Each structure stands twice: as C-alpha cells, then as structure tokens.
Amino acid sequence: MVGLSGSIYRHILEVARTLRFHANLPIEFWGECVLAAGYLINRLPSPVIENKSPYEMLYKKPPLYTHLRVFGCLCYAHSKETTGDKFAQRGIKCVFLGYAYTQKGWKVYDLEKQRHFISRDVKFIETIFPFKMVENNTGSTINYDREAKSGEKVQELDHYVHTLDDPPSYPATCEDIILTPSQASGDTLHMHTDNHASPSSQLDTHDTGPIDSISTPSPGDNPSRRGTRQRKPPTWHRDYDVQLNTVKINSSPVVNSHPSVESAISAAKEPSTFSEASRDPQWREAMSREIAALERSGTWRIQDLPSGKKAIFCKWVYKIKYKSDGSVERYKARLVVCGNRQVQGIDYSETFAPVAKMVTVRTILAVAASRHWELHQMDVDNAFLHGDLHEEVYMHLPPGYSASSPGKVCRLLRSLYGLRQAPRCWFSKLTGSLRAYGFCQSHADYSLFTLRRDDRILCVLIYVDDLLITGNDHDMIVAFKSFLAASFPVKDLGRMKYFLGIEVARNSTGIFLCQRKYVLDILAETGLTGARPVSFPMVQNHKLQSDTGPNFSDPDRYRRLVGKLIYLTLTRPDICYSVHILSQFMQCPKVAHWEAVLRVLRYLKSHPGQGILLRSDSPLTLTGFCDADWASCPVTRRSVTGYFVSLGQSPISWRTKKQATISRSSAEAEYRSMAALTCELIWLRNLLRCLGVVHPSPVQLYCDNQAALHIASNPVYHERTKHIELDCHFIRDHIQAGTISPSYTSTSEQPADMLTKALGASQFSYLLAKMDICDPHAPS
C-alpha cells in the first residue's frame, strides 16, 4: 500500500510540475497546480481499470472533456461590477487556474486586483500565457505576493497590466461561451457557442451542486452594436448570481504566502468522511462539542465487551446549518449509530417517531391567526440523548475518540441518534415531563398537548425535537419556556418564522405560509432558474401511462425530484394533482414523465413564492369540498378522489388519492369521495375541540354530483349501489345525526376540481384565487 500511494503521489506531482512549468506560474500557485492535476488525472483513462477513468468508475458514465482549457492561459472573466461608465471595459484580465470543486465554473486569478474567484462566463485565449510574458518583458519572474514588503503593490505586476492593450471587445478568434441556465438540465450544464466558436461544450458538474445564475448575452460578430440604456434589474434577480467570490473561513493555519491554497479550501463544504473533516479546525471543534455533550449527558459507559454480545458501529454525519437568509449559522457534527445492524427482539422492541401531522400544523396556525395568539418556537439540543435506553446495546468507540485502554466499547445508557428506538425513548421522556406540568395529550394527534386554566389555553405541538408553542396568554407561554429550559437544554428561537422548511410571515392580514427558498433550490438544482415559466402545471387532457416512450436515463434523479415535489405540496395544493400523477411512475420513469416533471418546475418558476394565506378575520367554521374523476386511470380504470377543507377562508387540508376499488359509475366515485371527506371533517372537529374551538353543527360539505348527494341523503337500495362497501355508508349516519350537511355546488365553483384533473389556465387561476392561494412576492 505504501508503494501504491507513493506511486500515485509521484504521478500527481509530475503532472502538477508539468502544468506549472508550461504556464511558468510562480511557486506560490503550487496548490492550484496540484488541484488541477488531480482533476485531470481523475478523468484520464487508466490501463489498471480497463482503460476507464476513475470518474467513469465512480459515476458509471464517461467524463466530458469539452470544458477543459489550457492551464495558466490568459482569459477574460465577465465583470458584474457597474461603474456607471458606459465605455468602461467589461472583461477582467485573468489567468486560468483550474476547475471549481464546490460550484460550477472556472477558477481564475485577477491580475490587477490579485484575487481568486470563480466565474462561469469566461473567454479563453489559450495561446497566451501571462506569466511567460512577464518573464520576457521584465527579464525575471515576478514576486507574486499580495503586498510588497514596503506595503505597495508589486511593480512588476503593474508593468504587466499596462503592457497589454485593452481591446475594445473580445477577440473574434477566441471562444465566446455563454452559459444559459434555461438549457441546463440536472447535473450537466450545456455551454453554447456562437458561429465562430468551437462546438458546444459542457461543463461537467457531478462533483458539485448547481448554483443560481443568469447568463450575460455574448457580443455579436458585428462591431457596431446598438446601444441600450442601463436598466435597474428587478428584485427577483437577487436570487441569481453568476460570479461568486469564495466565502472566506478561518485562514490562520494557512501560510500567507500561499493565497492559492487559501482560495482552494475557502468554500464551505460538508465533508463525507471523518478523515476529511478532521483536517478542518471548524469541524474538529464541532466534533469536540458533540463528544462533550454526549459525555455530559452520560450517554455511555466505557467497558469491555461481554462474551456473546456484538457491538454495532457508529459514524459522524456533518451538516452546515444555515439561517433563514442563507448565511452559515453553525457547523454541526452528529454522532449516529448504524441502526441497520440492530436486531429486533435483541437490540430493540418498539419503534415510534413523534411527528405531527401537517394538517394539524396548518390548523393550529389558522386558529392562532384568527384568535391572534402568539406563535413561538423552541428546539431541544441533542434531543435523543435525553431518552433512557432500557435495552442492552453496545457500540464501538466513535472515530477519533481515544480510550484509556484498547479493546473497549461503549455500553449505551441513553438513546443515540441512529438507534431504531431512539425517537420513542425521547418522546416518552418529553411526554412524561409535559404531563407532570399538567398537559393533556390530544387523541386527535398524539403530538399535540394542551393545558387549560380557566379561560386560558396553552398548546404545544411536537415534531421530533422542534416545538411549536401557542396560546392566548403570554405569561403561560413564558412560564412554560422557563420550565422547558430547566428540564432540557433548549434553544429559544423566538417568534415563529421558519418551521420545517416552511417560511412563516405574519402581519395584520394573517399568516402566510410558503416554501419559496425550497422552490428556488429545486430550480437551481435542475438548472431551470432561467426557464420560461408556464401558467398551469399539467397539460389538460394529457394522460400519462407507464408504457409511454423510451425509459428515462436517470430514474434516481426522477425519484429524488418527485420526492421533493411531494414535500412541496405541504403549502402548494395547486400542484397536488400533478405530483400525484408523477409519483405513480417512480419504478420505471419514461422520458415523457420527466418532461412532465420539468413542466411542473416551469410552473413553479412562474410563482416560486406562492403559498397559502391563513386570514386573521376568518371565522372558525369548517367547509369541505369533494370531487372525483371517474375511471381516470387509463391502466386500472380506478377513479381519483380529491377534497379540500378550509377553516373559514383559510385552507388547512387537501388531498388527492386514487380510489382503492373500481367504481361502476360517476355517482359511485363521487359518493366514495364524500365518505373520505366526511372522515376528514369529523377528525378536524375533534382536533378543533382540543384547541378550545367549539364548532357549530352541522359542517357544510359541497359536492357537484346530484346523484351522489341523493344516495347520501336517502337510504335507497338499488342495483347500482348495493355493492358499495358498508364503511362508505357511514356518511348517512352523520347526516342523520346533524354533524354533516351535504349541498350541491356547480363544477365551475368546485375547488376540489383542481385536485382531480388538469385544468385550463383560466379555470385554474380562478380556483386558485377561490382557495386563497396567492403570491405576495409577485409584482403587482
């Protein structure tokens, strides 16, 4: 192994030296040479691995070479700085120094300002090497320190900058490359050229994730160009960026004379292995904090492994926590147990995760908006570590943890992240504390706890380690926060602004929920930030089938993207039906299915900040709408059920689901949808009762099928209805009891119609407004 590693190390150095000598770079840029050498070696075929490249062995596809450029050559990076001078140069003279690992683009060095940055809009002159020119002009290579010893800029650099004439435009012979995000798809961005450029090249980006960008139009061939006045970009352009300077981190371990090394490691990146993280002082500090927290809570006891017992492994998981504005909040290192090695009946018995229903979250927020309750958030630090572990579980020592004697293991005394029973242990611990304080656990949602004292009420909703606190008395909220801080190490996040990836904005009108940042991240990942938007998510009367056209080349990408869209339906009922259709082709997606996904993304592009508004002046009365699309599935001929529930004018519950059985008529399909909506309305009445809301009877239920309403209101026996399951007929009992009141509404006024079929643009927009789905970020 030593000989093999030495051979690889020698190979990298040989390539790095060749790159440096060919471009005549100063020694201070040795780090960039090494990184570029590694990038190239990983993409070169090797006879050791059957003439395949390491990149191909890892990603199962050959690498692309069209984005490669001559190392150390002269290049012009497009400048985004506006000086107000219309005749100022738009290109920055730079030296090409390799390829970015953390974002898309080329790494270049500004010769005038002596700084590293990454740009995706670069023009290369691969026959000119600036440092060779400096040596020829001055007779010796320059000392490329940022500052001279006297504190002034290096004179040789100034000499070089002024020896090159500033061209009025980019040379017609050099490649004119423009990155167009609208033509980018997934992990590969296509770089298009003009008529004088080489064939279109591609920037391979499997090593890094995509970034938001807007491309700058390339200059045309005609030197006389039509002038245009400068316009102030709209506010939504703030979400796009082409040229990003690297984010600086603690650079104390880096020698000042090696700015290239500092530039190469300065971008924030989440490590995937312990050896990678141990080289960064910030991650080492994060791991030290985690170990200290584990030892303070008495999570384990170091001892010998008993005979007949097996110890399970553990690993580190690294995550960069961001604030709501996108800046880095902290570096989080978490020690997790490999719970997939646990054996049921020996290492654990019962499992349960305390996850609140999202309908419950929206309902609580709607009640809080209507009754003007305060909304607070709290987060429990290392929540799973507070649960008591009753099973006998042994774990290997964590990576990097040194014990007093070798061969020791950890006997786990408390639950640890990764254990299958860890969520249940934590929930049992928290439930005991809340009950001791006086809370009652709701039977409508076991993650909801309420405390009543006379006419005052306090509600706590639990989502694993995130707590949503609301009520009508400020003193009760403050007292409970103090109790919780004395019981567990918690972080008081203050007023609710960001919960489970949902952005929460509140004013006198009400509470607005959206996932704008989540949508923009999805668009950036797929390269559709510059795509042309559409006004509705799915083409009307377009039936997707499982045997339509050729297979899609990357089914994992399809599944990952549809999974993200499913989470987006928490605040976007407008895409609920589209996502329902697309999720049926997870096993073997076709190209037509992928194109349908891209259309949904283009619809999201039109209004990324669209969401639901929970109005403060809304009465707390439930209203339900149900609909069904009879035999809409072209394969199984099963119908689709859709329902929509609002609390006053606030949307709180919606669903699209294929029915379990085949309906023989449209009336039967509508009748089954009425039964599904009745179940939801009865449950919501019980949930509101837990929140101190007494709902008046009956609850209005609207359907657009007269035959289904007749079947529900009259106990008729007919040849066409005798086969319907008995559980569907329970709606008759609730109608007779006066808890449900069915009524007719026309199809054009039926909001649930959007949840069962694809609609045209005008009807789709009308129902959106009727459901109180809006986008406050959109220009008025």
Q: How many CA atoms lie within 13 A of 151 on its CB side?
A: 0
pLDDT digits (tens, 9 = 90+) for 242-301: 333 333 333 333 334 444 444 333 446 788 889 888 888 899 999 999 898 888 888 899
Q: What is the pLDDT of residue 403?
A: 66
Per the model's pLDDT, the better-predicted residue between 143 and 327 turns out to be 327
- Gap between the Cα atoms of 712 and 178, Å rounded: 63
Task: Give which of 664, 553, 551, 456 is closest to 185, Cα–Cα.
Answer: 553
Q: What is the pLDDT of residue 543?
A: 85
Name residue 637's amino acid: R
Q: What is the pLDDT of residue 82?
A: 63
Please give the sequence-ordered ranges of beta strands (E in DSSP) within 544-632, or none if there are none. Answer: 611-615, 622-629
Across the range 104-126, mean pLDDT stands at 89
Q: What is the pLDDT of residue 326?
A: 63
Could you tell me what percent of the chain has a pLDDT over 90?
A: 46
pLDDT digits (tens, 9 = 90+) for 338-352: 988 888 888 788 888
Decide the pairing of beta strands 408-412 and 498-499. unpaired
DSSP output for 722-763: TTS-GGGGHHHHHHHHTSEEEEE--GGG-GGGGGTS---HHH
* Mean model confidence pLDDT for the chain: 81
Structure tokens at 95: 């030296």
Lowest mean pLDDT among 144-153, 531-540, 546-555, 742-751: 144-153
Q: Which residues contact 757 (CB under 8 A, 6 or more apart)?
A: 577, 629, 632, 640
Q: What is the pLDDT of residue 147?
A: 35
Per the model's pLDDT, the better-predicted residue between 160 and 113 turns out to be 113
Decide the pairing of beta strands 773-774 and 201-204. unpaired
Phi-psi category of residue 310: left, alpha or beta, with phi > 0 → left and psi -120 to 50 → alpha: beta
Which residues are paired to 642 by β-bridges?
Answer: 627, 656
DSSP output for 131-175: HHHHHHHHSS-----SS-TTSSPPHHHHHHHHHS---SS--TTS-
Name residue 392's amino acid: E
Q: What count of other Cβ atoms lies within 10 Å of the Cβ of residue 412? A: 23
pLDDT digits (tens, 9 = 90+) for 167-194: 333 333 333 333 333 333 333 333 333 3
pLDDT over 70 at 650, yes or no? yes
pLDDT digits (tens, 9 = 90+) for 702-729: 999 998 998 888 776 666 666 676 667 7
How far from 109 is each of 94, 113, 128, 130, CA to CA, in Å? 5, 9, 15, 11
Confidence of residue 109 (pLDDT cuts 50, 70, 90): very high
Contact 768, 656 (CB under 8 A): no
> Which strand (E) or helix (H) includes residue 95?
strand 91-99
Structural Rg of the chain based on CA atoms: 31
Please give the sequence-ordered ranges of beta strands (E in DSSP) within 445-535, or none if there are none. Answer: 448-453, 456-463, 466-471, 490-495, 498-499, 502-506, 510-514
pLDDT over 50 at 156, yes or no? no
Question: Measured in Å, how far apart are the chain's first and last C-alpha atoms?
Answer: 66
Q: What is the pLDDT of residue 598?
A: 95
- Gap between the Cα atoms of 404 and 407, Å rounded: 10
pLDDT over 70 at 225, yes or no? no
Per the model's pLDDT, the better-predicted residue between 314 and 234 turns out to be 314
533 preceded by a cis bond (ω within 30 of 0): no
Q: What is the pLDDT of residue 196?
A: 38
How far from 140 is each of 151, 257, 260, 685, CA to CA, in Å? 21, 19, 21, 84
Decide the pairing of beta strands 502-506 and 510-514. antiparallel
pLDDT over 70 at 551, yes or no? yes
Decide the pairing of beta strands 622-629 and 699-703. parallel
**CATH, range 618-745:** 3.30.420.10
* Residue range(s) in the chain whose domain bears CATH number 3.30.420.10: 618-745
Across the range 400-416, mean pLDDT stands at 82
